[in-house]
Structure 1
Amino acid sequence: MVALMQLFSVSVAVTAASAASSLSFGPSTFTAPGAFPTSLYKSYYNDPTATSAQPQPVISDPVTHEIYPYSLTNPKKIPQSDPKDPHILPPKASESLLLQNAVNQVTSLGSNPVFANNTCARCQASLEVAKFLSLAAPSQGPEFVIFLCNEFKLSSTCNITYGPLALGSVITQVLANADVGGYDGLMLCQNFLSSSCSLPPTSPLNLTGWFAKPKPNPLPPPKTPSGERAKVLHLSDFHIDPRYATGAEANCTSGLCCRSNNFNAHSPNSSVLPAPRYGSYLCDTPFSLAAAALESIPVLAGTNGTGFAWTVFTGDLVAHDAEQQLSRDYIMYTETLLYDLFKRMLGGGPVYAALGNHDSYNQAQDATHSLGGELAEQFSWNYDHVASLWEHEGWISQSAVALARAHYAAYAVQRTDGLRIITLNTDLWYRANWFNYVNLSQIDTSGMLRFLTDELQDAEDHGERAWIVGHVLSGWDGTNALLNPTDHFYQIVDRFSPHVIANIFWGHTHEDQLSIFYSNNATNISAETALATSWIGPSITPLTNLNSGFRVYEVDTATFDIVDAHTWRSEVNSFPELDSQVQFGPTYAYEYSTRDVYGTNITWGANDPLNATWWHLVTEQMEANPDLVTTFNELQGKQSVLTPPCTGACIAAKICYMRSGSSSISVQNCARGFGSVQ
C-alpha cells in the first residue's frame, strides 16, 4: 500500500512525451480511483459499489431498443446454448437415413491399409463422404461433424463444440458448398483435421485487370509535412468479460479463467489463485479494469476536455467464451456496451472500428455473399447492428453505414482533412473461419480485396492518403491468416504505397508487434524497397500472460505519417494487492516512445516519419545489436513478468517476422515457433 501511495503522489509530476515531441501529454502514470464510477449507468442489477463482485449495469440497446436481461451475463449461471438463435443448414437435395452409412464408410477408411498410414488421404476421403451427407441429409450434418471430431480426435468436447447449436451447422454449410476433393478439401484437412497434410503453396497470382491503372511512374511528389501533430488513439482487443466472477479460479486448467464454472483440476474445492477484482493473466477484462483503463487514457494522453483527433479500434470487443456460451444477444450486448463507453469516456473525436474474430456469432465465422440466398445473409444482423451503433455514436456518415451493411461491416470514410480511413473484416482471410474454405483457390471470393482496391484507387485519383484498419494481421509469423488472400493484399499494398497508403493497423495477437512491406513481394529487402508499415496494437485484456496496454500516435496533420508512438501499460501482477482496499485502482504507466527506444543509432530528422524505411533501418540495427531484439521482445508482452526471453534462433526469427507483411512471405522465409511471447 505504501508503494501505491508513493506512485500516486509522483504520477502528476512527470510528463510522458519524448524529447522530439511537439505535443504535451499528461502525467507519466495515473492510478485510477479504487471505487467503481457508479455514475456511468442509471441502474444496475447488483450493487456496483461492492468489491466482491463485478458491476452488472442495465444496458439498453439504442438500435434494437432491447434491455438486455441479467441472465445474459450472470456470472453464476452461464448459459450453455441459446436455442432461439437460428442455426442455418444448407438446403437439402434429398432426405434419407444416410448417417449410419456415412459413419460406417469413414470407419472403414480408417481400417483400410491404403489410408491407415496416410491420415491426410483418409481425411480428404472422409470429407467426400461428409459432403454427400451434407447435401442429401443436411439435418444429419452436425451429428456427422461430431463423429468426425471424435474420429480425428479434434476436441474433448465434440458434442458441445460441434453440435447443432454450435459449429455443426456452420461446418455442414461449408461441406455442402466446398470443393472437398480439390484445393478446398486439402486446406480444410491441413488446417482443421490432419496436420499430416502439407500446406499447399501460395497460388500463382494473375493481376491482369485487377488494378484500374498502373502505378504512377514517377510517383506524385510527397505531401509537405505540416509540422503540426494530432493525437490518435489505438485501442485493440478489449475483450470485456461481463461474466467475470471476482474470487473464482484465476489459475484454471482449461477454458477462460476467472469464471465460476472453471476450476483448477489440482484443487477443485478451493481457488489456487482467487480472481482479483481488476483481472489476472489467464482472464479477460473485468468491468472494473475496463472502467479504470478508460478513465486513465484521457488523463495520460493529455486529452481531457478535448478528446483525440480520432481513434482506431482494431477489433475484439467480446470475451473468449466457449462457442456454446455465445449468442447473438451476447455479441450485441457487448457491442452496445463498449461503443457507448468509448463515446462517453474517451471524449470527442470519431472511433473507426473494425470487427474482430470474436465480434461475431458463431465466433470467427463470416459467410461470403457468393454462397447466395439465405446463407449469404446469415451474418447481416451483425453488420446492420454495428453499422447502426457507429451511426448512433456519430462516428460515420449514412453513406459509410450503407457500405458497412453491404461489405461485411467494412467501410471507408473520406475525412475533410484529406485522409481516407478504410476498414476491413479480416475474418475473410482468417484461418479459423470455416466459410473461407469454399472456393478458396479464387483470388477474392468475398469481394473484400476488390472493395479495398477500389477505395485506394479512388483515394489516389483524389490525391488522398489512406489508413487501412483491420483485426487479423496479414503477416508476422504466418499463423493467423490464409496465404492466398494475404499474398494478394501484399500486392495491393505494393501498388498503392508509399504515395497513398500512409499506415496499416492490426490487432488480434494482443501483443506489441510490427510488419514491414517491400516492393516486388519482398524479393529485395532493403531500406530502398521498404514501402509501408503495419502497426499491431497492444491489448487491453491481459489474456494471455500479458500486461494491459494502449498506444497514442503523433500524426502529422498533412501527410498522416506517424512521427512518434507512445505506449502505456498496467502491471497485471500488481492487481491482487488492490483487493484489500478501495482507495486505489490499477496504475497505467508510460512504457516507451518508439522513436526514443529504437531510433538512437539511426540518423533521422526530429520531424521525419517512423515509416517503412525507418523501421527497416531499425531491423538492421537489430541484426547488428541483438540486445535491441531483447528490448523488442520485452515490449512485445508489455513488459509482463511472464514474458520468456528471446535468445538463439528467436533473434533472427523476430527480425524475419518484422519483414513479413503476408503469411506467405513469413511461411516461406522465417523459422516457426517464435511469434508470440504468450
Structure 2
Amino acid sequence: MEPLARSPLFRNLPPLLLLLLPLAGSGGRTVAARGSFWHITDLHWDPSYTVTDNPGLVCASTGTRPAPNAGRFGHYHCDSPWDLIDSSINAMKVILPEPDFIIWTGDDTPHVPNEQLGEEAVLSIVGNLTRLLQLAFPKTKVYSALGNHDYHPKSQMPPGQSTMYEQMAQLWQDWLEPESQRTFQSGGYYSEQLLNKTGYRVLVLNTNLYYDQNKLTENVADPAGQFEWMDNILTRAAQKNEKAYIVGHVPPGFFEKKRSKPWFRPDFNRRYLELVQKHHAVIYGQFFGHHHTDSFRMFYDLQGNPISTIFITPGVTPWKTTLPGVEDGANNPGIRVFNYDPSTLLVEDSVTYYLNLTYANAMRERWEKEYRLCEAFQVPDASPSSMHAVLERLAGTGCDLQKYYEFNSVSYDLSACDADCRVDHICAIREVDFERYEQCLLREGTAATPLAFIPLLIPTALTIYCAAL
C-alpha cells in the first residue's frame, strides 16, 4: 500500500491540469445534455521500474532491451512506473471528476515471464490499482474487465470456475452485483443494468477465452458457455427493449500494426461476428483495449450497411511491443472520455487525452487534449454510420489517413503512413471477418486514391503536404 500514500490525490492538484477541465465537454452542445464516462485500459504497472543511470536495470519489462535516459514517468521500452499510473488517474480526476461511470478493460501486470509473477503478485497488482481507482472515484461505478495479463499464467483463462476468478471478484465486490459475482466466478464475465437504469444494459465479457494464445480453450466449442450466455442476454434485452454496451479486453479481428495478425481463433471470431450481426439492434457501443493503440473496428450486415463499432482505446503503458514484424510499436500514454446521449445510449463523441512522455520526463507532467473525434474527422456523432464515414475518409484521402495514423500511436509515431501501412489499417478497420479481411488486402493492395497516390509513394511529401493544410 505504500504507493497509495504517495498519490497526488492526497496533495494539491497540479494547476496546469486545471486548464483541461473545459475540454471534457462539447463545443456544440451543453455538457448537461450529454452523459460522459471514462475508458482506461492497459495500465501494465511494472513495480520494478527504477530511474537509474544503468539502462539495463531500469525495469523488468524491457526484456533484453536497454532503457537509456529513463525518466520519472517511464520509458518507451518499459511498462508503466507507479508515477505514470498515479498521474493518469489523477488526470482523470481533474479533467472529468464526476463521470457517469468508468470502463476499465484490464491488462494490469507487466510484460514479464510468468516465472517473475505468480498468482499472489497478479492479485496484488490488480488490488493496488483497484484501490487507487476507488480512492479517486469513491462514488463512481466501475465496469471492470479482465485482460489477458490479469491472470496467472498470463492468457491462460480457464473455461470454467477458478480460484483466481473468485479472488478477482472479491477485489471488485464493491462494483459487482451478486449475480455478477456468480457469473464472474464461473467464467470471468457478467452483465448488469447500466447504472441500474431500466432499459440500459452492459455486458462485460471475458474475451481472453477466445485468445489464440489461450491453450485451455483450444478445443472447447463455447468456453465457459459465454457465447450462449451472451446470445441469451442480448435476446432478452431485445424483448425488454433494452439498449446495451459491450465491454471487453481482447477484440476480434486483426491487429492494424501487423498484417494478418488475428487475436481470436477462427471459430470464435466467426461466432462473435455472427452474434453482433444478430443482435446489433440492441448494441449501442463496443469498448475494448489490448492493442495499446487508438483505432476502431466496423461491423456490417449482409447488405453492407454499418451496424456496429468497436472503439479501441489506447493504453496507459508506453511499452514498445516486441511482437515480431512491428517496427515501432510504442505509444504515448492515453486515456479517453466518451460522450453519449443518456436518453438513447448513442455514442456522440470522444476526447482522447495524452501525456507526451518525452516532455513529461524532461520538463513536467502535462496531460492534454490530443483530439476530439467529431472535430478531427468532421462527423456529427460516433454512430456506426458516422464511423463508416470516418473509415471512408481514411481510405480516400492521404491527409485524413495520416492524421489517424499519428493518433493511432497517441502522437508518438509521426512518420508517414505509406501504401502498405494504408492497406494494413484500412483492412483491419473494415473487415473483422477472416476471409473478407484477406480479400480486402488483395483489393486495397492494388487500389490507389487520386489524392493519396503521389504522397504515399513519397512519404516525406505526405507529411509536409498534410502539415501545410
When normalised by structure 2's length, the TM-score is 0.82
Q: Give 2:466's aligned residue.
A: none
SS in 1 for 2:166: helix
For 2:411, which of 627, 633, 639 is the aligned residue?
Answer: 639
SS in 1 for 2:351: strand
Q: Give 1:479's aligned residue.
A: 262
Q: Does structure 2 retain, via aligned residues, the 8 Å contact 1:629–1:654?
A: no
SS in 1 for 2:22: coil
Cα offsets for 1:527-580 (capped at 9, x unmatched): xx11001000111111122100100011111211111101000001124325xx
Structure 2: how far apart are the matches of 1:487 and 1:338? Answer: 34
SS in 2 for 1:496: helix
AA paired with 2:336?
R
Distance change (3 Å), C-alpha of 1:616 and 1:13? closer
For 1:508, which of 271, 287, 290 is the aligned residue?
Answer: 290
Structure 2: how far apart are the matches of 1:382 and 1:263? Answer: 27
Q: Structure 1 residue 621: deviation in Å?
A: 2.1
Distance change (3 Å), C-alpha of 1:385 and 1:612? same
For 1:19, which of 27, 37, 44 is the aligned residue?
Answer: 27
Q: Give 2:85's aligned residue.
A: 290
Structure 1: gaps spanning 5 or more residues: 1-6, 25-227, 266-270, 370-376, 579-584
SS in 2 for 1:505: strand
Q: Give 2:136's aligned residue.
A: 345
For 1:405, which of 185, 194, 198 is the aligned residue?
Answer: 185
Structure 2: how far apart are the matches of 1:624 and 1:668? Answer: 18
Structure 1: how far apart are the matches of 2:266 and 2:215? Answer: 15
Q: Give 2:126's aligned residue.
A: 335
Q: Structure 1 residue 623: deviation in Å?
A: 2.9
Cα offsets for 1:595-636 (capped at 9, x unmatched): 00112xx5x4xxxx4111111112222233221011000001
Q: Does structure 2 retain, via aligned residues, the 8 Å contact 1:354–1:469?
A: yes
Distance change (3 Å), C-alpha of 1:667 and 1:349? farther
Where does structure 1 differ by over 4 angstroms across 4 or more consecutive aligned residues? 7-11, 260-265
Q: Give 2:204's aligned residue.
A: 423
Equivalences for 1:153-552 in 2 at 5 Å?
228-247=33-52, 258-259=58-59, 273-301=68-96, 303=97, 307-369=98-160, 377=161, 380-391=162-173, 394-406=174-186, 408-415=187-194, 416-417=196-197, 418-439=199-220, 442=221, 444-477=222-255, 478-497=261-280, 499-520=281-302, 524-525=303-304, 529-544=305-320, 545-552=330-337
Structure 2: how far apart are the matches of 1:492 and 1:360? Answer: 27
Distance change (3 Å), C-alpha of 1:614 and 1:437? same
Distance change (3 Å), C-alpha of 1:496 and 1:285? same
Structure 2: gaps spanning 5 or more residues: 1-13, 256-260, 321-329, 446-469
AA paired with 1:412?
S
Q: Structure 1 residue 12: deviation in Å?
A: 2.6
Structure 1: how far apart are the matches of 2:54 and 2:208? Answer: 32
Q: Structure 1 residue 668: deviation in Å?
A: 4.5
Equivalences for 1:19-38 in 2 at 5 Å?
19-23=27-31
Distance change (3 Å), C-alpha of 1:402 and 1:646? same
Distance change (3 Å), C-alpha of 1:542 and 1:249? farther
Structure 1: how far apart are the matches of 2:354 and 2:190? Answer: 30
Q: Structure 1 residue 11: deviation in Å?
A: 6.1
Q: Give 2:465's aligned residue.
A: none
Distance change (3 Å), C-alpha of 1:573 and 1:595? same
Q: Give 2:366's aligned residue.
A: 587
SS in 2 for 1:514: strand
Cα offsets for 1:325-360 (capped at 9, x unmatched): 110001110111111111111353211011001001
Structure 2: how far apart are the matches of 1:10 and 1:261? Answer: 29
Structure 2: how far apart are the matches of 1:244 and 1:353? Answer: 25
Q: Please state which structure has a larger fraction of its residues in helix.
A: 2
Structure 2: how far apart are the matches of 1:262 and 1:613? Answer: 41
Structure 1: how far apart are the matches of 2:61 and 2:271? Answer: 43
Structure 2: how far apart are the matches of 1:264 and 1:486? Answer: 34
AA paired with 2:91?
S
Counterpart check, 1:565 vs 2:350: yes
Give the aligned length: 414
AA paired with 1:534?
I
SS in 1 for 2:106: coil
Structure 2: how far apart are the matches of 1:435 and 1:248? Answer: 42
Q: Does structure 1 retain, via aligned residues, the 8 Å contact 2:51–2:70?
A: yes
Cα offsets for 1:389-438 (capped at 9, x unmatched): 221xx2121111111112x2100012332321111111111111112222
Which stretch shifts more, 476-485 or 322-331? 476-485
Q: Structure 1 residue 663: deviation in Å?
A: 4.5
For 2:427, which of 656, 663, 669 is the aligned residue?
Answer: 656
Distance change (3 Å), C-alpha of 1:263 and 1:473? closer
Q: Structure 1 residue 8: deviation in Å?
A: 6.1
Q: Give 2:461's aligned residue.
A: none
User: RMSD across aligned C-alpha pairs, in angstroms?
Assistant: 2.5
Q: Does structure 2 retain, via aligned residues, the 8 Å contact 1:473–1:508?
A: yes
AA paired with 2:147?
G
Q: Structure 1 residue 317: deviation in Å?
A: 1.2
Cα offsets for 1:22-70 (capped at 9, x unmatched): 218xxxxxxxxxxxxxxxxxxxxxxxxxxxxxxxxxxxxxxxxxxxxxx
Q: Give 1:136's aligned residue.
A: none
Q: Does structure 2 retain, via aligned residues, the 8 Å contact 1:241–1:319?
A: yes
Counterpart check, 1:622 vs 2:397: no
Structure 1: how far apart are the matches of 2:99 and 2:350? Answer: 14
Q: Which has the larger radius of gyration?
A: 1
Distance change (3 Å), C-alpha of 1:10 and 1:433? closer
AA paired with 1:468?
I
When normalised by structure 1's length, the TM-score is 0.58
For 1:554, which of 335, 339, 348 is the aligned residue?
Answer: 339
AA paired with 1:340?
R
Distance change (3 Å), C-alpha of 1:330 and 1:248? farther
Structure 2: how far apart are the matches of 1:327 and 1:317? Answer: 14
Q: Does structure 2 retain, via aligned residues, the 8 Å contact 1:245–1:260?
A: no
Structure 2: how far apart are the matches of 1:538 and 1:383? Answer: 25
AA paired with 1:646?
C
AA paired with 1:615?
M
Distance change (3 Å), C-alpha of 1:272 and 1:465? closer
Structure 2: how far apart are the matches of 1:471 and 1:535? Answer: 11
